[in-house]
Amino acid sequence: MGRLKIAVLFGGCSEEHPVSVKSAREVAKHLDTGKYEPFYVGITTSGAWKLCDGPDVGWENGDCRTAVLSPDRSAPGLLVLEKGQYEAIGLDLVLPVLHGKLGEDGAIQGLLELSGIPYAGCDIQSSTLCMDKSLAYLVARNAGIATPNFWTVMAGGSVDPDRLTYPVFVKPARSGSSFGVTMVSRREDLPDAVRAARRYDSKVLIEEAVAGSEVGCAILGNDPDLIAGEVDRIALSHGFFRIHQEAAPETGSENSTAIVPADISPESRSLVQETAKAVYRALGCRGLARVDLFLKADGKVVLNEVNTLPGMTSYSRYPRMMAAAGLPLAEVIDRLVSLALKATDDEK
């Protein structure tokens, strides 16, 4: 058999564009070119698709060609503009390495479904659910999983500051990472925090702060066969976890350290892993996701959020947790490819 032709999508139009490019660089380092023939498709911040040599620094200014997905489901692949004509490149799979809006919210997944190209990771429904934190909370609650108390503020709406128990976190309901997130301890600071969140999303989520440690669990697989990576814990010196907004996150954070494996009891570790799997199943995830939780002093866990396309950078939590469980990134990629192709075969 020849090598599988895989398109690696990276970049994108969201505020997480730079993180996506870094994730793609790490994936490129660990992609086994003996098994796969990679086609790197970078999406610029303005939305242009470019077939390039790789996600290296300055990729968008290199020798790139315009590329689009073929709309013909009988011939799934790329159409690449070459000297005024389109060249068709067949694909076996797409590996999205996109974070945030238009990458992690079901949009790219829908485009791939229309094009008939198998892809790694969560499907449209689970991507959309997990991206909207308020919807994810509602589904998780219905499955018996604890969530913070929360309120949603739609465009043009408001919330009575006196209804809230402070501190609260104000955040965009449908945005990745911690962009637009503010911790509010005084009622008079609430309007500014809502405005800051609306820079990234018209729908704003306000949630009560949960007293506890931030922990996470990397999940890999399709239900019922799920693998849980090692649990990590975010040790904070002050403030709250804001990774990806540091000037140089590769050198560490100024207020946080990820401890892998987490320095928690075996009972708590098991509970975090089992709860992460329960969240993953309840939200219909497939392929991979990172489930973030709060571990309270009484040993109970509370859902924080789910990242369906978690960071894959050199400093990201998901690959570190999987590596600590004995699965290096190269093997994670192999399993993601196998899972995606099997899911496609099962649907036929």
Which of these is catalytic: 244, 277, 286, 317?
244
Which of these is catalytic: 11, 230, 311, 335?
311
Burial class (CB in 10 A: 0-12, 13-18, 19+), 63: exposed
- Indicate if 99 belongs to the active site: yes
- E-state strands within the chain: 4-11, 36-43, 49-52, 65-69, 77-82, 85-90, 93-97, 150-153, 168-172, 182-184, 204-208, 213-222, 225-236, 256-259, 287-295, 301-307
Are the C-beta atoms of residues 287 and 126 closer than 8 Å to each other?
no
Which of these is catalytic: 2, 34, 84, 250?
250
- Indicate if 320 belongs to the active site: no
- What letter would DSSP give residue 119? B
- Least Cα distance to 292 among 275, 305, 279 occurs for 305
- Least Cα distance to 300 among 262, 268, 259 occurs for 268
Identity of the amino acid at 87: E
Q: What's the rounded Cα separation, in Å, for the pair 63 and 68?
A: 16
Which of these is catalytic: 36, 280, 315, 318?
315
Which of these is catalytic: 22, 174, 203, 269?
22
Which of these is catalytic: 25, 99, 286, 335?
99
- Indicate if 315 belongs to the active site: yes
Q: What's the rounded Cα separation, in Å, for the pair 177 and 154?
A: 20
Which of these is catalytic: 290, 317, 320, 335?
290
- Least Cα distance to 11 among 42, 53, 55 occurs for 42
- What letter would DSSP give residue 162? G
- Indicate if 22 belongs to the active site: yes
Q: Is the four-CA dihedral 187, 293, 133, 247 of positive or negative sign?
A: positive
Q: What's the rounded Cα separation, in Å, for the pair 138 and 129?
A: 10
CA angle 247, 252, 257 (to 5 degrees): 130
Q: What's the rounded Cα separation, in Å, for the pair 21 and 12?
A: 9
- Indicate if 86 belongs to the active site: no
Which of these is catalytic: 11, 15, 19, 21?
19
- Indicate if 290 belongs to the active site: yes
Catalytically annotated residues: 19, 22, 99, 244, 250, 290, 311, 315
